[in-house]
Amino acid sequence: MSLLEVCNLKVRFQADRRRLRRSSGCVRAVDDVSFAIEPGETLGLVGESGCGKTSLARAVIRLIEPASGSVWFEGEELTRLDAAALRSRRRKFQMIFQDPYTTLDPLMTAGEAIGEALDVHQLCQGEEDRRRQIEVLLSEVGLDPEHARRYPHEFSGGQRQRIGIARALAVRPKLVVCDEPVSALDVSVQAQIINLLRELQRSLGIAYLFITHDLAVVEHISQRILVMYLGRVMEAGEAKLICRSPKHPYTQALLSAVPVLDPDSKRQRIILPGEPPSPIDPPSGCPFHPRCPLAEARCREQTPALREIGAGHQVACHLVAPPPMG
């Protein structure tokens, strides 16, 4: 059984009033997305700004309500639980954010912030046990037990991200949703945090839904990748496979746009025209067709379905040939 299973999830937002006239009046932030995450696995979620990554993640753990679709966690349908039942399950899935500064209370010490997470789910037996657990958590994320007494502003960005991680780990979750956890950090600090997340996964068996727009990071940390564009999944499959031989023209362009360090790499850069269109007025047919170098007439008319083209490899593109029969 998968740890998490998401089926045909849709998220809609009310568009702002000024734009209502020209459109159906809603933002299709997430459109018909399905995927699964196995225990201890990392699924990378990539795509450009506004493609719906955060909305998808928030809907999965029901921080916002999806418009339709279902989410199953350990075989139980989250999308059907009432508020009280949901609260009791919350311990099993946690979220960490891009900028821990905005999520940490400036008036709470690191120890208090972590202790609060423990208290919410009543995970301590007495004051002594609580202090010990905080110390263990701090050292798990590479901080000093003595740091428990410090306030957020006394930490560097990387250290604050470690506190955010310790807080998420405090409740021993099965799944951690990481929304751009390293995007605001310097490269040297970024490497420290990525390695930390991987070590914790190995020792604690946590699964990650890892959101980023950095393809090199996502290839590095994930077993599988989901590529999104305008709220829809364009390509999904094994991380190495997608990064080495992407099949969807959007994935190809996205990968080719990443500046790579290797002085010997001789890649052909695909420069896409324009920018992603608005999800309020998504294009007809394939959402990528206005920028796609290969678009044909049918791409404007029919929305391609996400089809299996190889083992666990799915692509939503009319032009990608299905696997040979037999």
Which residues sit at the interface with ligand ATP, rule CB under 6 A?
Answer: 13, 27, 29, 47, 49-55, 213, 279
Q: Are 110 and 163 in contact (CB under 8 A)?
A: yes
Q: Are 55 and 27 in contact (CB under 8 A)?
A: no
Q: How far is the CB of 303 from ligand ATP (least distance, A)?
A: 18
Judged by CB under 8 A, does residue 161 bind other proteins?
A: no
Sites for other proteins among residues 276-315 (CB under 8 A): 276
Nearer to ligand ATP, 100 or 111 (CB): 100
Q: How far is the CB of 95 from ligand ATP (least distance, A)?
A: 13
Q: Are 34 and 3 in contact (CB under 8 A)?
A: no
Q: Are 255 and 46 in contact (CB under 8 A)?
A: no
Q: Binds 29, which of Mg ion, other proteins, ligand ATP, none (CB < 5 to 8 A, cut-off by type)?
A: ligand ATP
C-alpha span between 304 and 292 (Å, rounded): 14
Judged by CB under 8 A, does residue 107 bind other proteins?
A: no
Nearer to other proteins, 240 or 300 (CB): 240
Judged by CB under 8 A, does residue 150 bind other proteins?
A: no
β-strand 207-211 against 42-46: which pairing, if any?
Answer: parallel
H helix or E strand, kind and range, residue 13: strand 4-14
Nearer to other proteins, 79 or 222 (CB): 222
Q: Binds 241, which of Mg ion, ligand ATP, other proteins, none (CB < 5 to 8 A, cut-off by type)?
A: none
Neighbour-count burial for 132-157, b at 16+ CB within 10 Å, e otherwise: ebbbebbebbbbeeebbebebeebee
Integer Rg of the chain from CA: 21
Judged by CB under 8 A, does residue 64 bind other proteins?
A: no
Of 323, 279, 284, 285, nearest to 304 by C-alpha is: 285
C-alpha span between 39 and 36 (Å, rounded): 10
Judged by CB under 8 A, does residue 38 bind other proteins?
A: no
Q: Which residues contact 87 (CB under 8 A, 6 or more apart)?
A: none
C-alpha span between 192 and 186 (Å, rounded): 10
Judged by CB under 8 A, does residue 190 bind other proteins?
A: yes
Neighbour-count burial for 16-33, b at 16+ CB within 10 Å, e otherwise: eeeeeeeeeeebbbbbbb
Q: How far is the CB of 29 from other proteins (least distance, A)?
A: 17
Q: How far is the CB of 291 from other proteins (least distance, A)?
A: 8
Q: How far is the CB of 270 from Mg ion (least distance, A)?
A: 24
Q: How far is the CB of 59 from other proteins (least distance, A)?
A: 22
Q: Which stretch, 97-105, 124-132, 267-275, 294-302, contacts other proteins (CB under 8 A)?
A: 267-275
Q: What CA–CA distances, in Å, run from 124 to 8, 142, 161, 318?
A: 39, 22, 24, 55
- The region that residue 180 occupies, defined by phi over 0 for left and psi between -120 and 50 for alpha, beta otherwise, is left
In the set 84, 271, 311, 321, which binds other proteins (CB under 8 A)?
A: 271
Sites for other proteins among residues 8-37 (CB under 8 A): none
Contact residues toward Mg ion (CB under 5 A) are: 54
Q: How far is the CB of 281 from other proteins (least distance, A)?
A: 14
Q: Which stretch, 9-17, 58-66, 91-99, 262-270, contacts other proteins (CB under 8 A)?
A: 262-270
Judged by CB under 8 A, does residue 82 bind other proteins?
A: no
Give residues in contact with other proteins (CB under 8 A).
48-49, 156, 158-159, 186-192, 194-195, 198, 213-217, 219-220, 240, 243-244, 253-263, 269, 271-272, 275-276
